[in-house]
Amino acid sequence: MSNRKYLFVALALVAVMTLASWPLLRGQQPAARLVARGAGTSILEGGSGSPDYMPVLTKLAFHVEQVAGVVTGAFECLAFGPSALKGAGSGNFSNNIMYVSGNVETLKVEGDTVRITGNSECTGIGAGSNVSYEAVIQKGGPGTTVWLKAGTPPLVFKEILIEGGFEIQSDGK
């Protein structure tokens, strides 16, 4: 090959590499695509269960994104019980029953429902570090549901949203 051909090939390679790396050279990160998010207050169906049936309110918040095909996000669920089961204090939801705070590692969208899993720090009932959780969240506002499986050993909770809302992207990707 002549020197001119080498020069042409070298210039062509530099041009292709520059165009391909232009977003990186400009400091741009791959765009994050929001898949689902929401926050609200819910009540556990059936409360704490038999024999006391203590009412339990929860505060939920989550977001799930995909960045360059990788799932990322966070999930929070803080459960409160009343300071007394009957009489004074029974409407004062100030006792921290359980707190699940974790990252989102997997995602599955099924119509108007999103299933997320990950590992969490869990306090209160089922306390532990690096505790796996699974949340199945229905799209919508008050009346929609969240099924949460968390704790050590794993416990399952059905939560009914009473305030707030959950969004799931309709394209399901």
My answer on whether omega of the bond before 153 falls inside 30° of 0, hence cis, is: yes
For 103-128, the three-class secondary structure string (H helix, E strand, C coil) is ECCEEEEECCEEEEEEEEEEEECCCE
Tens-binned pLDDT, residue by residue, of the chain (173 aa): 566 665 565 555 555 555 555 555 555 666 889 999 999 999 999 998 888 789 999 999 999 999 988 999 999 999 999 999 889 989 999 999 999 999 999 999 999 999 999 999 999 999 999 999 999 999 999 999 999 999 999 999 999 999 999 999 966 44
My answer on whether omega of the bond before 142 falls inside 30° of 0, hence cis, is: no
> What DSSP letter does each residue of 87-102 carry, written as one string?
STTTT-EEEEEEEEEE
What whole-number distance in Å separates Cα of residue 166 and Cα of residue 164? 7
- Other C-beta atoms within 10 Å of 23: how many? 10
What whole-number distance in Å separates Cα of residue 149 and Cα of residue 156? 4
